[in-house]
Structure 1
Amino acid sequence: MGLKSAAMRAASVFTHPAKPHDFLALINPLSSARQLRGVVTAVRPETTASTTISFRPGDGWSPHDAGQWARIGVEIDGVRQWRSYSLSAPAGGDPQITVTACGKVSAHLAHETRVGDIFFLAPPQGEFLLPTGPRPLLMLTGGSGITPVMSMVRTLLPKRADADVVLIHSARDRESALFGAELAQLATQHEGFHVVHRYTSEDGRIDFSTTTDLDALCPDWRSRKTYVCGPAAMLDDAEKLWLDANLPGSLTVERFETTKLTEVAGEGGTVIFEKSDREVEADASTPLLEVGEEAGVLMPSGCRMGICRTCLTPLLSGRVRDLRTGEVIDTEGDLIQTCISAAAGTCHLDI
């Protein structure tokens, strides 16, 4: 038994029926045996709509690798809301996220976060990682998709004088482009780091239907290991181009959202959260995860796009629809992914 564990067991004699951690939390809000937490240490505006938030995690946090993401929980109107955010800080140090005000939780974080606020955390995860050996790299990013790549750049450049990286970043305009000043400084400091800004309001989007745009922006793109992160349409088009070029193995993609049906047939229904004793009317296109969160139900979640399966919840009865395929699921006891499933009639969930 470790010294710390022995001390906690001894202290529990005096704190019973409460646990020692419950008293420690009164002194140190990061001390919790039940939930990993972090305290906000800095808040820095990036653009009018985006903010970088640095935080110091408590015990239990695993140092992140460049390109990974983590689940962040925050209390809004008395309800704990969870979202997943890429970590934009270099690997190994105290983490930070760069949030653009889009949606209820992101807008709250971007505009309302203050130094000293407490976040609820889950350990870093994700496979959008730098290669293990030296290799010429191409980074294609759009909008907030630059955040995990920024972690990679901040990690790689100080460690490798021979780094050969081309970053092509698309933003709506100069005012909304993230990290512009820092990227310009890094390009000046590192001979092998080249940055190309694409402002879609002036230059239009990169056309991935042919190789013409890419040939002009990065002539040797075929020989580079490529990372792409941004809007779903950009990722789909890039995947097709690399597949057509017979280079799918040299492309690594990070998605912030899954592709869902643009039109959902049928109607929604009543969603009954049995354990939480909540009953909510829902439409046919809103994910059950969001329906539950808006109703104050503590919903398990992770990636929020149907990949990690953290949100799996038993369907006790009723009908739900997979928002990616339109398939209706009505088998009692099936585990459904609430982040990509919506009501297709009355449904009872075991949560």
Structure 2
Amino acid sequence: MSLFEAMAAPHQIDRYLELVNPMATVRDLRAEVTGVRRTTADTVTLTLRPTRQWRGFEAGQFVQVGVVIDGVRHTRCYSPACSQHRPDGRIELTIKAHPQGMVSRYLHAEARVGLVVSLSQADGVFRMPATRPEKILLISGGSGITPVLSMLRTLVDEGHEGEITFLHYADTERDVAHRDELVEIADGHANVRLVLAYTGQAEGGDLHGFFGQEHLEAAAPWHGEAQTYLCGPPGLMRGVREHYDRIGLGARLHSEEFAAPVAAGDEDATGLLTFTSSGVTARNSGASLLEQAEAAGLTPEFGCRMGICFSCTAVKTSGCTRNLRTGETDTDPDQPIQLCISAAVGDVSVDI
């Protein structure tokens, strides 16, 4: 390929165009922040205007957002909170600043109108069927509110007439993102019921404490006939799943989680890791291969760190790995694996 051809390649052109106008791209998908709202102490809601490459999304899906922090681009996954039918084509993200979240903390503190971020096309299987269920129970907790709020807003825009209950868990009333919008939707639609459960506040709200059968009966006594969509912190996710399995409704529960899987402890780990392309070796600590590669001084590409975006896929050339989400092991050589959700079982070689 000639130098001219290399410079004319779409991504190379985009590198030049961004010097003039960051939103002028041939292939790269980006978005400009057009609105910033901080409605709770630790969340920020951003409105984004994507470039022309944007193909839209379905309620419940996620996108990858990339920002440059101290000269390094970092990417994380967030779910749009707006309706998939939003008429202006923009998307709304509500982002909670987690103590260890570099991107979330940066956006919470620094996001301003005019900021341009990188954006991926929407992805993910957490979404409603094309034929909407007659009865729908939406359960969320904390920042898990965003994908199910998108579902609620989408159903309202579609004029859905079936029963909908939105059950949301928060520590206190002050921690409920989009509370005013939720109240407005419930007040304006007879088929929508809003149930707020506070785990750290004894007064106010509709329910108190953590999820259980009594909460389910109070919020949606018809839950056995409904399709339930769930997103929230690990404790809520685990509690709802275990309860639905016990009462035989596991097939009616659909969930999405944005929490990294837990790797084995040091006492369970044996073997030696070899990162073949880098010529680096390290003792297996039991952590994910992504974490161990970073601990060894390597900088493999990654996105969500939760096994969703596939950005950290690399080839395992030999050895046995365990999928941290499913527990399945893989002993075949020359297999692509996701570093963030794979742990070594004994000696493993990876091509990074």
TM-score normalised to structure 1 length: 0.81
Secondary structure (helix, strand or coil) at the match of 1:91 reads: coil
- Between stretches 90-99 and 25-34, larger displacement belongs to 25-34
- 1:260-275 mapped onto 2 (5 Å cutoff): 260-261=262-263, 263-266=265-268, 275=277
In the alignment, which of 214, 217, 224 is matched to residue 215 of structure 1?
Answer: 217
Residue 42 of structure 2 corresponds to residue 49 of structure 1: yes
The offset of 1:347, in angstroms, is 6.0
**Identical aligned residues as a percent:** 34
The offset of 1:289, in angstroms, is 3.0
In 2: Cα distance, 1:134 partner to 1:324 partner: 29
In the alignment, which of 228, 231, 255 is matched to residue 229 of structure 1?
Answer: 231
- Between stretches 161-170 and 183-192, larger displacement belongs to 161-170
In 1: Cα distance, 2:283 partner to 2:102 partner: 18
The offset of 1:166, in angstroms, is 0.6
Q: Which residue of 2 aligns with 1:96?
A: 92
The offset of 1:61, in angstroms, is 1.7
> How many matched pairs?
333
Secondary structure (helix, strand or coil) at the match of 2:267 reads: coil
In 1: Cα distance, 2:327 partner to 2:266 partner: 7
The offset of 1:26, in angstroms, is 3.0
Deviations, residues 266-319 of structure 1 (Å, cap 9, x unaligned): 4689876555x5959788354333555685725144x53335645321134677
In 1: Cα distance, 2:5 partner to 2:328 partner: 51
Return closer, same or farther for 1:161/1:335 CA change in 2, 3 Å cut-off. Answer: closer
Q: Which residue of 2 aligns with 1:144?
A: 143
Return closer, same or farther for 1:17/1:205 CA change in 2, 3 Å cut-off. Answer: closer
Q: Which residue of 1 aligns with 2:312?
A: 311
Residue 166 of structure 2 corresponds to residue 167 of structure 1: yes
Secondary structure (helix, strand or coil) at the match of 1:265 reads: helix
In 2: Cα distance, 1:310 partner to 1:133 partner: 32
Equivalent AA in structure 2 for residue 128 of structure 1 = F
Q: Which residue of 2 aligns with 1:257?
A: 259
In 2: Cα distance, 1:257 partner to 1:43 partner: 25
In the alignment, which of 69, 73, 86 is matched to residue 79 of structure 2?
Answer: 86
Return closer, same or farther for 1:182/1:296 CA change in 2, 3 Å cut-off. Answer: farther
Q: Which residue of 1 aligns with 2:112?
A: 114
Residue 209 of structure 2 corresponds to residue 204 of structure 1: yes
Secondary structure (helix, strand or coil) at the match of 1:45 reads: strand
Deviations, residues 196-223 of structure 1 (Å, cap 9, x unaligned): 111101322112xxx3331123222212
Aligned-pair RMSD on alpha carbons?
Answer: 3.2
Return closer, same or farther for 1:156/1:350 CA change in 2, 3 Å cut-off. Answer: same
Equivalent AA in structure 1 for residue 222 of structure 2 = D
Q: Which residue of 2 aligns with 1:5?
A: none
Q: Which residue of 1 aligns with 2:290?
A: 289
Deviations, residues 39-85 of structure 1 (Å, cap 9, x unaligned): 22211113111111121112322111111101111212222112111
Residue 7 of structure 2 corresponds to residue 18 of structure 1: yes
CA contact (8 A) 1:232 1:258 kept: no
Q: Which residue of 1 aligns with 2:177?
A: 178
Deviations, residues 154-191 of structure 1 (Å, cap 9, x unaligned): 22113316242111100111121111111111111111
In 2: Cα distance, 1:324 partner to 1:335 partner: 16
CA contact (8 A) 2:145 2:168 kept: yes
The offset of 1:17, in angstroms, is 5.9
The offset of 1:18, in angstroms, is 2.6
In 1: Cα distance, 2:264 partner to 2:199 partner: 24
Q: Which residue of 1 aligns with 2:249?
A: 247
Secondary structure (helix, strand or coil) at the match of 2:184 reads: helix
CA contact (8 A) 2:264 2:286 kept: no
In 2: Cα distance, 1:31 partner to 1:237 partner: 47
TM-score normalised to structure 2 length: 0.81
Q: Which residue of 1 aligns with 2:60?
A: 67
Secondary structure (helix, strand or coil) at the match of 2:44 reads: strand
Secondary structure (helix, strand or coil) at the match of 2:157 reads: helix
Unaligned 5+ runs, structure 1:
1-12
Secondary structure (helix, strand or coil) at the match of 2:200 reads: helix
Return closer, same or farther for 1:101/1:159 CA change in 2, 3 Å cut-off. Answer: same
In 2: Cα distance, 1:237 partner to 1:219 partner: 18
CA contact (8 A) 2:315 2:337 kept: yes
Q: Which residue of 1 aligns with 2:205?
A: none
